[in-house]
Amino acid sequence: MPRTVKSLTAQEVKGAKPGAKITRLFDGKGLYLEVTPSGSKRWRLKYRLHGRERLAGLGPYPEVSLAEARKRRRTIREQVRDDIDPIEKKRQERAAEAAKGDSFETVATAWHEHHSREWSDTYAKRVYRRLEIDVFPAIGDMPISEIRPADIVALLEAMQERGVGETAYRAGRDLEGIFDYAKQRDKIASNPAARLTRKKAQVLKKPKVKHFAAITEKDQLGELLRAIDGYRGDSQGTTKLALSILSLTMVRPGELRHGVWPELDFDEALWTIPATRMKMDRDHLVPLSDQALAAFRALHKVTGKGTLMLPSIRSKERPVSDNTFNAALRRLGYDNTQMTAHGFRSTASTILNEEGWNSDWIEMQLSHVEQSGSRAPYNRAKYLDQRRHMLQAWADMLDGLRREDG
């Protein structure tokens, strides 16, 4: 038997309290009240058209009462029976209304075109994609002058509820910029997105950066290196070589896992990681110390007949599991609060900075970039000679720590 939904009362709607997450109070026939953690309330209606489930917004409470929400539900259900898409109909009506003034999407597109002259193509595409996926479907057709803070809060909280907090934060910054752009051109009197991404705002917090556990004391690092030298977790020794390469090159574990031999120039002692595999969408040059080159030569003797540097034992067409390196560290006695594969980057960065090496060289070797999306030409060989010198000194230091008895 179908589940029976108890109808809401006006008192229940009025008294609905916010919780830690978005809560929903159902009235039947697809209608429900959505209550956000900030206390805003909006009516929504689920319906099916052509076999697909759709979700329509019926407006905020208390502007739209329970009785009015039920009336709108009845209207939409009648439209569906007549094979009319209510969302598309509403979009057309809003578009007609927006013709009297600028819609949000029109202004946002102009803002994007204005700033994309200063951005890289990759960054510009990323920004517009965020707008297309999450922002335009929610408020794109609305006249920009009619958008209220509550509309933006509902949009961003829905994104956070979906588990894309980092994207929500970035979208919030985009929205603030778009409304500033509109205000400067006298299209709106005030910015409804202002302060949503500021420290005092409770609506949208910048996600905490995830820090990977890393050893940063030299004596402990020496112990780890000696433990890696004695690792016997795989018969071919590829995992031990991979951990050694991570310690020497400052690359991300995923960049090594997916590495292919054509990327590596043994004669030039240089590894070119293509933009398609880099977090920042740009080629990255990794100069190889004598020790790193020796580790790659040893690895090549084992896996060099194939394309992948580190193929899975189950399939030569797939790389080793993303848990391979951390699992090896666990077997060596290091839990995830002490050391991780990604932590080798922090280990090198911390110690090299403490040793007085140029921070620009270190950041370049880590492939860290400014987040501004600047169109300034990227020189992938920047500081290459200096970085080669630094990584050779780092490799020599690791050898020294490895030989010490603690």
- The contacts found for 386-393 with CB under 8 angstroms, 24 or more apart, are 386/358, 386/361, 387/287, 387/361, 388/269, 388/287, 388/289, 390/352, 390/357, 390/358, 390/361, 390/362, 390/365, 391/248, 391/249, 391/250, 391/287, 391/288, 391/289, 391/292, 391/365, 392/289, 392/290, 393/357
CB count within 10 Å of CB 220 equals 16
Among 342, 383, 387, 388, the one annotated catalytic = 342
Angle between helices 238-249 and 324-331 (to 10 degrees): 100
- Kindly state the tokens that stand for 122: 């990759």
Among 185, 318, 378, 403, the one annotated catalytic = 378
Active site residue 252: yes
Among 21, 279, 301, 331, the one annotated catalytic = 279
3-class state of residue 113 by DSSP: helix
Quote the CA–CA distance of 319 and 313 in Å, as a whole number. 9
Contacts of 65 (CB under 8 A, 6+ apart): 10
- Kindly state the tokens that stand for 172: 């919030």
Quote the CA–CA distance of 134 and 166 in Å, as a whole number. 13
Q: Are 161 and 21 in contact (CB under 8 A)?
A: yes
Among 345, 383, 387, 388, the one annotated catalytic = 345
Nearest alpha-carbon partner for 263 in 252, 253, 274, 255: 274
3-class state of residue 27 by DSSP: strand
Give phi and psi for 33, each to the nearest 5.
Answer: -100, 125
Among 148, 206, 368, 403, the one annotated catalytic = 368
Active site residue 368: yes
Spatial strand order in the sheet of 284-287: 264-265, 270-273, 284-287
28 Cα distance to chain centroid: 37
Quote the CA–CA distance of 237 and 168 in Å, as a whole number. 43
Among 73, 170, 252, 258, the one annotated catalytic = 252
Nearest alpha-carbon partner for 154 in 62, 272, 22: 22
The residues that are catalytic are 252, 279, 342, 345, 368, 378
